[in-house]
Amino acid sequence: MRGRLRRGSAVPMAGLGILPMLLTLVVATPPVSASVPTVVTIQFDDGTVDQFDNGFPILEAHGMVATFYVNTGPILADDPGHMTTAELHTLFDAGNEIAGHTVDHANIQPLTVAEAEHQVCDDRNTLLNASLGFGFPAESLAYPFGSFDATSEAIVHYCGYNSARTVSGISKSRASGETVPPADAYATRTPPNPKKATKVSTIEGYVLRAEADKQSTDWVQLVFHKVCDKGTGGHCGAYAISRSKLTALLVWLQGEIDAGRVAVETTAQVIGGSDNPACHWDTDGTGCVPPIP
């Protein structure tokens, strides 16, 4: 794996293929039709090991799946705080989605095109690469820090992803969630990310507001980071949910599912789209998704 490129480095000729995309509308393949008015996607960012140790058993106990957005750099470096490829395969084999979050959890918005393509394309290429222990479809991306712009969207499309997620856009002033299909598949919106002090009832409220919108199918992306309990030997951080809160939320969601008001799906299930090959952005652009006519 190449090291991170320096700011201001020259853009490879293959990288220039991304620029015309800024003049075109980025559109995803039509999504899978939702069978109920509200779709919920449970998402975990960063690929930390506590998500596997603490979060996955709770998901399994309630028969639910999630999308895990992971950074391949720490995984390739065998960072003990991140999941291993074997653990990712366990998640995937249970029906969960393994998705991209850049190589190094980089804010790609201020980067050069070459730097951003390295972070986004190489992360996705690694996720696709079975010889490195991965071998996942890699259809979805989450922007680190929710930071993006038009160039970022175009790069994510060029690298072969079918969607990209921010970390905002749905607030208490907005009565519903993201639409299905999204207004912009490369900038899908979420309610505020739950923090360790966030009440379960607040998270439930995001779903209930979407349920109340009878005019369209709404999609609520619930974004979590660490699954961590105070006093378990680690620093949970601000964006953490305890095992008891996650359990309570999934119990409540199960009731909504049983009542026919909610379906829980992965990001890829909601968005749909193609399984694109690896993007050789740094050589001849082979496999990269061309600009939309």
Structure tokens given for 15? 């990288």
231-246: per-residue pLDDT in tens?
555 578 889 999 999 9
Q: State residue 171 phi and psi, 5-degree precision.
A: -120, 180
User: pTM for the complete prediction?
Assistant: 0.88
Residue found by looking up tokens 């949910």 in the block: 241
Q: Between 5 and 250, whose confidence is greater?
A: 250
Q: State residue 189 phi and psi, 5-degree precision.
A: -100, 155
Establish if 158 belongs to a structural domain: yes
Taking alpha carbons only, the member of 16, 18, 63, 23 closest to residue 42 is 63
* pLDDT at 15 exceeding the cut of 90: no
Question: Percentage of the chain with pLDDT > 70?
Answer: 83
Establish if 147 belongs to a structural domain: yes
Establish if 279 belongs to a structural domain: no
Domain count within the chain: 1
Mean pLDDT, residues 192-217 taken together:
89
Structure tokens given for 122? 């190489």
Establish if 199 belongs to a structural domain: yes
* pLDDT at 16 exceeding the cut of 70: no
pLDDT band at 206 (very low <50, low <70, confident <90, very high): very high
Q: Does residue 293 sit in helix, strand or coil?
A: coil
Establish if 3 belongs to a structural domain: no
CATH number at residue 209: 3.20.20.370
Establish if 88 belongs to a structural domain: yes
Range of the domain at 32: 13-271
Determine the pLDDT at residue 12: 39
Establish if 136 belongs to a structural domain: yes
Establish if 6 belongs to a structural domain: no
52-67 b/e (C-beta count within 10 Å ≥ 16 → b): bebbbebbeebebbbb
The CA distance from 84 to 113, in Å, is: 29
Q: Centre a 10 Å sphere on the Cβ of residue 213 and count the other Cβ atoms it contains.
A: 16
Q: What would the DSSP string read from start to end of 73-112?
A: HHHHTT-TTB--HHHHHHHHHTT-EEEE--SS----TTS-
142-200: per-residue pLDDT in tens?
999 999 999 999 999 999 999 999 998 886 555 568 999 998 999 999 999 999 899 99
Q: Centre a 10 Å sphere on the Cβ of residue 246 and count the other Cβ atoms it contains.
A: 21
Q: State residue 77 phi and psi, 5-degree precision.
A: -85, 5
